[in-house]
Chain A
């Protein structure tokens, strides 16, 4: 009886680990899509409505999911109070506090970093160019993230289940 319970626990744990690793890839893809969505909304606010950045960030935060939503709200509040020296700095501070919730790769963060470094610091023409470049780069990363997710989610899930089953068979 006890043995049977242990086999089930081992099998479920291995499967969970497999699912967990698969989810990380899925989350990266989902978060990147959210970043792209936020960038597109922000592009509209900046280029067409000329909305100042603190208000624009607050406005678009309602249109995306957490944790992107949470970081946007926090940065917006910081900028409204004038507490930060730059947009990049406030995003960096907030990201460091919430980094465990993000599953982005270094190359994703590099695109976002380059974007935030110049966000709000030029005229409409410069901002338009910046948005176009960032959106293109994000689209490329979104595509590859989706592909990787598709491949790895299946692989890790199957691997988890297989390893779980294998251990149980060996023990039996």
Chain B
């Protein structure tokens, strides 16, 4: 039955559904042999590979230094494979500094930026890459869903979280739960539009989401948030609009537009507490217009994507702590 969570997950270990084969496929054989077991057994978050430097593997709470000096040829091979032997097809992604590979893993690249008219045209002489491992934690938002929805309606929700606390992971699972529906809390499946500016939420590869974002979800991949939100409202008729890391005036304007069009929003921002939101001028509109109804604060205390606090924002602007 759709919406009923049958998957067990373990956030404490930082584990989740990991497609490591796709990472191994792009790595040269020598590096492959060294990394394979670590990838399978440990909660790897990042693999950093730099020319003439040892490989660094970041786990959730520690790091491993591999005794292998990376050669220029190794990096060239990785680049050829992550770009599917076609660097020309990834020019836009390279300009933005990353390529998303199958499985949703994002590979950040660094090197010499070529500027034309003060704009980055490409990155050449790539000297280091950072493979950010994508883990899908299905069910991690189940606990939160009953707080952000009621009577088959999803509240306009803002998720506040410091970096690396799992806000994108939880946002992805929220999208899946809303899209598939959760009969257990009386939530029917709704049309969801995800504006995925950096291919982080749905991790699209060739336009196809690599991660489970639900059956009623449309993804605008690699799309600027403001333009994407307006485009989605006009053309995809979503019930819910989902967006990661809002923060510019344009984003807020688009969120206002979504609200005025009767579309509910679930968005995230960088921050540490509810005061962060109230102290930022940019969110004044959202608060004064009483758009936001729920504010969720995340932390990585004890585990990733730990729900620290949940606030309800009333129609008069009154804030009530529902949890925490």
Shortest Cβ distance from A116 into chain B, in angstroms? 11
User: Would you call B80 and A86 a contact (CB within 8 A)?
Assistant: yes
Q: Assess whether A122 is interfacial by the CB under 8 Å rule.
A: yes
Other-chain contact of A53, B77, B86, B121 (Cβ < 8 Å): B86
User: Would you call A82 and B25 a contact (CB within 8 A)?
Assistant: yes
User: Would you call A82 and B88 a contact (CB within 8 A)?
Assistant: no
Interface string of A47-83 (1 = CB under 8 A from B): 1001111101000000000000000000000010010
Q: Which of A107-149 contact B (CB under 8 A)?
A: 120-124, 126-127
| Count of A-B contacts judged by CB separation below 8 Å | 50
User: Would you call B89 and A51 a contact (CB within 8 A)?
Assistant: yes
Shortest Cβ distance from B126 into chain A, in angstroms? 12
Q: How far is the CA of A53 from the CA of B85 in the complex (A)?
A: 6
Count how many chain B residues have C-beta atoms less than 8 Å from C-beta atoms of the other chain. Answer: 17
> Helix, strand, loop or mixed for chain B's interface?
helix
User: Would you call A120 and B91 a contact (CB within 8 A)?
Assistant: no
Q: Assess whether A87 is interfacial by the CB under 8 Å rule.
A: yes
Known contacts A82-B25, A82-B26: A120-B86 contact under CB 8 Å: yes
Q: Assess whether A85 is interfacial by the CB under 8 Å rule.
A: yes
Shortest Cβ distance from B31 into chain A, in angstroms? 13
Count how many chain A residues have C-beta atoms less than 8 Å from C-beta atoms of the other chain. Answer: 20
Q: Assess whether B248 is interfacial by the CB under 8 Å rule.
A: no
Q: Assess whether A36 is interfacial by the CB under 8 Å rule.
A: no
User: Would you call B87 and A54 a contact (CB within 8 A)?
Assistant: no
Interface string of A29-52 (1 = CB under 8 A from B): 000000000000000001100111
Q: Which residues of B does A touch, CB under 8 Å?
A: 25-26, 28, 77, 80-81, 83-89, 91, 94, 121-122
Q: Which residues of A does B touch, CB under 8 Å?
A: 46-47, 50-54, 56, 79, 82, 85-87, 120-124, 126-127
